[in-house]
Amino acid sequence: MIFRLSYTLLITVLSPFFLFGLYKTRAGKPKIGSRWREHWGFTPALSYTSKPIWIHAVSVGETIAAIPIIHKLKAQSPQVEIVLTTTTTTGFEQAKKLGDLVTHRYMPLDFPFAIKRFLKVIKPSQLVIMETELWPNTLHYSRLAGVPISLINARLSDKSYCGYAKLKPLIRLVNDCVNQIICQYANDARNFEKLGISPQKLALSGSIKFDITISNDVRKKGKKLRVALGDDRPVWIAASTHAGEDEIVLAAHQKVLDVYKDALLILVPRHPERFTQVKMLAQKNHVTIAHSSNKILSGSTQVYLGDTMGEMLEFLEASDVCFMGGSLLGDKVGGHNLLEPAALAKPTLIGPSYFNFQDITDSLIAQDACKVVRNENELAHCLLTLFNDHSLRSKRGARGHAFVKENTGAVDIIVRHIIQ
């Protein structure tokens, strides 16, 4: 009780800063409009009376991970209603792709009054939380309402374990409120157990992200884009870059251009609000075209800015090599997922900081499907090595693709736990 009271007072103080960032208008960021009331628990009533499964996915990454689970749930139980909540508007943009399969609502802020109001309107049969989003008031009041709670695709890295180990009251709350935690890997489960979570509440599924389905439509669009980019030129993608990485990527690209004059970089910033900034940065030294401009590319185009949402797979399909961002900034970000480029049989490169995807990345490195680069020189060297050797590119891409195929099945396991 004291812990939750102290926590609620803390978020009351911090909420204006959080809301400022959440609602601040940025280029490329969807606006919430009149739906801001939902963050305060003023949730519109549902059009049906049955109790839905409530799935919470904070933002883009979690929503994308939830999509195959939702498809599987609806395929097995078409009569089941699903309410999908996201906190961010960019998460909502991904949720819209599910159409009528779900009813979208914005997640109420973790204040008691907002959570209780939401629960009273939605009346969920259960709450399924993507990954490790531990909101104390949400957990507490969902349990009081008799709503079973599952954490799925849960991760707990060694670094995160050290942080949570200092929050014993939160862990006791989780152990009391959560019915099951479906972990990605054995190391995640071990860390939860070390924190004090009851072993009988822990299960393993593998990562949802292995269950990747690349549609024929995506492949066709990617191949069409590649024709537009140029079939015979070297093309690489720097995916999900963060502030501070773009300069390194562009410097490496210049070194590649010194050898391959027609090389092309597809540069895709992680956050849409950075699109304009990154475009200006690229234009300083390179002929740059934005994807959204629909301009005709020429042989002189050196940088192609991926400044639209939801088309990463098409950009990857159009590339020869993928460098994954969020990995050259020390411990600030911890990398991003390499499974999508691996599923498309693309050889991958990543910086030394990838603790958020430690197991996956280490496995791809062990399979010789991925190489670690520490700076612009190493990035340029590895790119040139791969561009010089088509056979090497094919072998590394094939190894990554095989690794993904060998580890599919998490979605089936998770859905069995949800509908048991």
Q: Could you identify the residue written with the tokens 């072993």?
A: 199
Rounded CA separation 292/314 (Å): 14
Dump strand ranges (E) for 208-367.
Answer: 235-241, 264-269, 288-290, 303-305, 321-324, 348-350
Rounded CA separation 25/21 (Å): 9
| Secondary structure letter of residue 146 according to DSSP | T
Amino acid at 301: T
Greatest CA span in the chain, whole angstroms? Answer: 65
Q: Which residues of 194-211 are buried (b: 16+ CB within 10 A; e: fewer)?
A: ebebeeebbbebbbbbbb
Give DSSP secondary structure letters for 46-104.
PSS-SPPEEEE--SHHHHHHHHHHHHHHHHH-TT--EEEEESSHHHHHHHGGGGGG-EE
Other CB atoms within a 10 A radius of the CB of residue 258 amount to 11
Q: How far is CA 269 from CA 13, 111, 155, 245, in A?
A: 32, 33, 24, 9
Residue 356's contacts (CB-CB under 8 Å, 6 or more residues apart) are 155, 157, 326, 333, 334, 335, 336
How is residue 404 written in tokens?
A: 């993904």
Nearest C-alpha neighbor of 351 from the set 329, 366, 377, 320: 329
Q: 177 exposed, middle or buried (CB, 10 Å; 0-12, 13-18, 19+)?
A: buried
Q: Does the CA dihedral 206-207-210-212 come out positive or negative?
A: positive
In the three-class reduction of DSSP (H, G, I as helix; E, B as strand; rest coil), residue 127 is classed as strand
CB contact at 8 A, 419 and 153: no
Rounded CA separation 418/150 (Å): 8
What are the residue numbers of the active site?
62
